[in-house]
Amino acid sequence: MSRTDYPALAARCAALTEGEDDIVALMATLACEIHHSDDRFDWTGFYRNVGGEVLKIGPYQGGHGCLVIPFSRGVCGAAARSGQVQIVPDVDAFPGHIACASSTRSEIVLPVWRGGTLLGVLDIDSDRPDAFDQADADALASILRATFGP
């Protein structure tokens, strides 16, 4: 499989989520569609903002993930804390990386917003080094905005 055809993925996500407003249903659908769109994506899922600067695992595809991640730790925590996309070409070089799976080599994490409120983060891990770039970040952010709103 080649890299994700993001326009086709965006169209599928839009069609599958049209009219739905339940956050968990939206997260589950996106996790499934995104995960199966590209063989670089080894683990794809959401960590939900449950308050108290804590993220808890939400819908995902792949092996088991960490159940709880504080905003103060790891790549997911950095995305939640800063509100900025995190692209990590080598997780071993990221200070405080949380190794939920020993196979992970690189990671991208995007904050998920609705109406100015942080719902959580979308986390995608790859078993390949340097698997993600700004084009991935831009396309995934666009899908998240289209699904959850600005």
Collect all residues with Cβ–Cβ distance below 8 Å to 98 and sequence separation of at least 6: 66, 69, 73, 74, 75, 76, 77
Alpha carbons 56 and 70: distance in angstroms, whole number: 9
Alpha carbons 26 and 13: distance in angstroms, whole number: 9
Alpha carbons 42 and 36: distance in angstroms, whole number: 9
What tens-digit pLDDT sequence spans the chain (150 residues)?
A: 458 999 999 999 999 999 999 999 999 999 999 999 999 999 999 999 999 999 999 999 999 889 999 999 999 999 999 999 999 999 888 877 777 777 788 999 999 999 999 999 999 999 999 999 999 999 999 999 999 997
CA torsion sign for 52, 109, 120, 67 is negative
Query: pTM here?
Result: 0.95
Angle between helix axes 23-35 and 6-17 (nearest 10 degrees) is: 150
Q: Domain residues of the chain, as ranges?
A: 6-148
**CA-to-CA separations, 113 to 70, 84, 129, in angstroms, rounded:** 18, 11, 28
Superfamily of domain 6-148: GAF domain (3.30.450.40)
Of 104, 100, 108, 113, nearest to 78 by C-alpha is: 108
pLDDT at 3: 82
Of 101, 94, 34, 31, nearest to 66 by C-alpha is: 101
pLDDT at 1: 44
